[in-house]
């Protein structure tokens, strides 16, 4: 019997040496993606080769067991399989079997982002464990598409009027999507060196992002500049001089910004997660779980919403009793 317990450092499987998205565990942690590349990682991790390569770009080199999609393997009494999660290069969900039970850990499913990434895969499981980083209203059908359209209108308007535009965003996943969106419009794109390296990893894996160049002193003055949003990069204030700045909100909880973000003119929210309708469809048609466990900052809202739609759902709050499987 294994227990799933939510903590402030990922999920723990009591009675096992495996943790889920824990950065500091003394055991082995499955890392589902490199969406947060500035995080220090002390744990030994199970992840994909693409995730490891992206982490190395940001000087994160944890001990790693590299696994491929759809290649089952064993860890003690657990039988594991990584499945593509769709939203970010190297992103994965984890299917786990033990004894006569099983569950699927799918923290960040996404069906619509950068073309060329592997499509999401899911498997039937008795238990589905999912994250709740956003409230249901932020995942309304069509909301992401509307934000992309609004962003396109903004960049085309500024480009036509000769106004320099800087986009602040997270350097993994969002930056590559924006590179592709802007380049597809025929607008020149200049990216921060860290984003440039991640872009090259995407392209080496067959994802076409379009033309772009690396940020430098002689960068195209008319280009849209894509810079990473991070409090860790102290060089950003110098790069932000002049022009107009827009900010890509990665997380609904992002309300405190560094002092030098004073000239932000607009904000856009590109959800890292599929629409709520797509999530429900995946649960109903692909996973078909007997119970759904939800963790994260908006657990209550997501649980209430799924419960009202007759899904078998339970919250996985921190410090609550663990759930057995």
* 14 band by pLDDT with thresholds 50, 70 and 90: confident
What was the pLDDT predicted at 144?
A: 85
Q: Tell me if 154 is assigned to some domain.
A: yes
* pLDDT above 70 coverage of the chain, percent: 87
* 22 band by pLDDT with thresholds 50, 70 and 90: very high
Under 8 Å CB-to-CB from 160, ≥6 apart: which residues?
A: none
Number of domains composing the chain? 2
What was the pLDDT predicted at 140?
A: 84
- 122 and 165 housed in the same domain: no
- 245 and 278 housed in the same domain: no
Angle, CA 293 vertex, CA 290 and CA 295 arms, to 5°: 170
- 263 and 301 housed in the same domain: no
Q: Tell me if 179 is assigned to some domain.
A: yes
d(CA 271, CA 293): 21
Per the prediction, the chain carries an average pLDDT of: 87
Q: Tell me if 96 is assigned to some domain.
A: yes
Name residue 64's beta-bridge partners. 45
d(CA 18, CA 11): 9
DSSP 167-183: EEE-TTTHHHHHHHHHH
pLDDT greater at residue 23 or residue 240: 23
Does 189 score more than 80 pLDDT?
A: yes
Read off the pLDDT of residues 127-142 as tens digits, 9 standing for 90 and up: 999 999 888 888 887 8
What DSSP state is assigned to residue 281?
H
pLDDT greater at residue 155 or residue 163: 155
Read off the pLDDT of residues 223-271 as tens digits, 9 standing for 90 and up: 899 988 765 555 555 555 556 777 776 655 554 555 555 567 788 888 8
Read off the pLDDT of residues 43-72 as tens digits, 9 standing for 90 and up: 999 999 999 999 999 999 999 999 999 999
- 27 and 63 housed in the same domain: yes
Q: Is-contact 39 21, C-beta < 8 A? A: no
- 7 and 55 housed in the same domain: yes
- 108 and 172 housed in the same domain: no
What was the pLDDT predicted at 170?
A: 87
What was the pLDDT predicted at 96?
A: 96
Q: Tell me if 199 is assigned to some domain.
A: yes
Q: Tell me if 138 is assigned to some domain.
A: no
Look at residue 272 and give its three-state secondary structure.
coil
- 38 and 127 housed in the same domain: yes
Name the token pair of 194.
Answer: 């860290």
pLDDT greater at residue 146 or residue 229: 146
Name the token pair of 240.
Answer: 């932000």
What was the pLDDT predicted at 233?
A: 53
Give the global pTM. Answer: 0.91
The CATH number of the domain where 96 resides is what?
3.60.15.10
* Residue 236 belongs to domain spanning: 143-269
What was the pLDDT predicted at 116?
A: 84
Read off the pLDDT of residues 72-100 as tens digits, 9 standing for 90 and up: 999 988 999 999 998 899 999 999 998 88
- 64 and 151 housed in the same domain: no
pLDDT greater at residue 103 or residue 140: 103
The CATH number of the domain where 167 resides is what?
3.40.50.12650
pLDDT greater at residue 261 or residue 312: 312
Look at residue 295 and give its three-state secondary structure.
strand
- 196 and 262 housed in the same domain: yes
Q: Is-contact 123 95, C-beta < 8 A? A: yes
- 13 and 93 housed in the same domain: yes
- 28 and 125 housed in the same domain: yes
- 19 and 129 housed in the same domain: yes
Using alpha carbons, select from 173, 167, 158, 139 the residue that is nearest to residue 247. 167
Taking residues 183-202, report their average pLDDT. Answer: 95
Q: Tell me if 157 is assigned to some domain.
A: yes
DSSP H or E stretch at residue 277: helix 276-282
């Amino acid at each position: 019997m294994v227990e799933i317990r939510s903590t402030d450092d990922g999920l723990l499987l009591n009675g096992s040496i495996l943790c889920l998205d824990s950065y500091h565990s003394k055991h082995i942690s499955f890392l589902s993606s490199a969406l947060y590349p500035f995080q220090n990682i002390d744990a030994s991790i199970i992840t994909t080769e693409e995730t490891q390569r992206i982490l190395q770009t940001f000087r994160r080199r944890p001990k790693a067991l590299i696994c491929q999609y759809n290649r089952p393997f064993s860890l003690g009494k657990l039988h594991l399989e990584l499945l593509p999660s769709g939203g970010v290069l190297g992103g994965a969900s984890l299917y786990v079997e033990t004894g006569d039970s099983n569950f699927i850990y799918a923290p960040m499913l996404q069906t619509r982002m950068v073309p060329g990434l592997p499509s999401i895969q899911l498997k039937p499981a008795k238990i589905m464990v999912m994250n709740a980083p956003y409230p249901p209203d932020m995942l309304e059908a069509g909301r992401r598409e509307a934000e992309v359209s609004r962003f396109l209108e903004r960049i085309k308007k500024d480009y036509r009027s000769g106004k320099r535009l800087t986009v602040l965003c997270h350097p993994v996943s969002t930056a590559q999507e924006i590179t592709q969106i802007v380049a597809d419009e025929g607008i020149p794109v200049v990216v921060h060196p860290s984003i440039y390296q991640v872009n090259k990893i995407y392209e080496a894996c067959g994802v076409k992002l379009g033309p772009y160049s690396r940020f430098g002193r002689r960068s195209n003055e008319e280009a849209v500049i894509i810079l990473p949003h991070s409090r860790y990069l102290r060089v950003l204030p110098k790069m932000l001089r002049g022009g107009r700045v827009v900010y890509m909100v990665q997380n609904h909880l992002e309300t405190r910004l560094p002092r030098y973000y004073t000239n932000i003119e607009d904000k856009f929210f590109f959800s890292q997660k599929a629409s709520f309708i797509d999530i429900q469809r995946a649960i109903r048609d692909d996973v078909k779980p007997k119970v759904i466990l939800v963790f994260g900052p908006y657990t209550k809202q997501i649980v209430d919403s799924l419960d009202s739609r007759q899904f078998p759902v339970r919250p996985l709050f921190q410090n609550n009793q663990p759930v057995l499987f």
